[in-house]
Amino acid sequence: MSSGATLSDAQLRDEYNPFLSMAKGFDQAADILGLDEGLREVLRQPERELKVAMPILMDDGTVKVFTGYRVQHNFLRGPCKGGIRFSPDVNLDEVRALSAWMTWKCSVVNLPFGGAKGGVICDPRELSQGELERLTRRYTVAIMDILGPDRDVPAPDMNTGEQTMAWIMDTYSMHVRRTTTAIVTGKPLALGGSRGRREATGRGVMIAANKALQLTGDRPEDTRVIVQGAGNVGGVAALLMHREGYKVTSISDMYGAIHNETGLDMPAVMAWMRDHGRLTGFPDAAEVSHSDQLELDCDLLIPAATENQITSLNADRIKAKLIVEGANGPTTAIASSMLHDRGVVIVPDILANAGGVTVSYFEWVQDRMGYFWTEEIVNSRLEQIMIDAFNEVVKTAEEHKVSLRTAAYILSIDRVASVYRLRGIFA
């Protein structure tokens, strides 16, 4: 398939459905592993889905009802783990897919967690701080029966952060009548957060990029990088990679992208964004559209914004020879196959962006034992886990002669399936 134009509208809808995209990756790996149909059915489906309606008193005195979800995909290896996002685009299929990806992500880096994900349909830009707090606390109460340090531990995701986690922790703690710091991760340091957590996903992306260059035989100083997204993933990765010698030529936020073929001064770019609230207007850089940015000439592309950015409609125009996925599901299953057939190396999301959940695991461990590590220890342990996981995925890919994405699925699914066989079926 050379162009998405050959797909019907129904086929395009299926391509953009993140749960179906996840299922395709799962099925490819399951075929190679020879999983029987019963076990496939167990591992493919979420174990629990909760939909809640939340009436919120708005600042103008009106009441508005918001919809929220929490999907727990799998409990076999330990408590569920996964972020909560606030976005107008949240839907159940998206949350289902993200919860499953969390299961495979935790497994591929060998953490004792299952996967979960949550979301609230809202536009945080249209809500005041007070409305956001009331919405967060009401959402916490609505899903509280399935939360707990040994049951389900949320974390930040799109449009949520340390303050959101602080509100969740406080709401949960007030209801159980004791301070329970291990109920969430990604908290402020003063509330039991971990040093290095804010930068962890971006740092993990950089570590994955460094390892990938070893596969392609390239050097950071010879590598032109395009980063889609300038938040805690893309922005941090771009800044860290700039310090490592990579030439970051383009970066984007929700308003647009900037580009300079000779390389951007990333500390100056991030300072500009902090001062102006957006990247546009940054001097010594051209402004380009989101769609054009992905198709710029580069060596390494890091999609670190949201899912379904590289699809059958634009895959044949992607010029990067290496893609490291900072976001969850940024490349559709069809586009991934198209790029693999062209020889493009893709470090999949469940490996490349696993730095965040790895340091979330560190935070959970530190909260439970009441002893906290230095940032040097956190970063050192993160790097070791990411390198070990990367090496295992590469070894699996070589053994089965498959892409890194399929290899990551094989490794992670096999670990979960092995636990299932050991535990058996409770009756």
Please state, in angstroms and rounded to a whole number, the distance separating the CA atoms of residues 339 and 336.
5
- Rounded to whole angstroms, the Cα distance separating 219 from 371 reads 39
| CA-based nearest residue to 125, from 278, 324, 248, 321 | 278
From 24, 81, 117, 211, active-site residue: 117
Distance CA 319, CA 316 (A): 8
Pairing mode, if any, of strands 286-288 and 300-303?
Answer: unpaired
Q: Is 250 helix (H, G, I), strand (E, B) or coil?
A: strand
70 in Cβ contact with 50 (< 8 Å): yes
| Strands lying side by side in the sheet with 63-72 | 48-57, 63-72, 114-121, 80-87, 152-156
Q: Is 117 a catalytic residue?
A: yes
Query: Please, is 169 exposed, middle or buried when counting C-beta atoms within 10 Å of its C-beta (0-12, 13-18, 19+)?
Result: buried
Amino acid in the structure at residue 382: L
**How many Cα neighbours within 13 Å face the side chain of 126?**
9
Q: What is the DSSP string of 293-318?
A: HHTS--SEEEE-S-SS-B-TTTGGG-
Helix (H) or strand (E) holding 121: strand 114-121
Residues noted as catalytic? 117
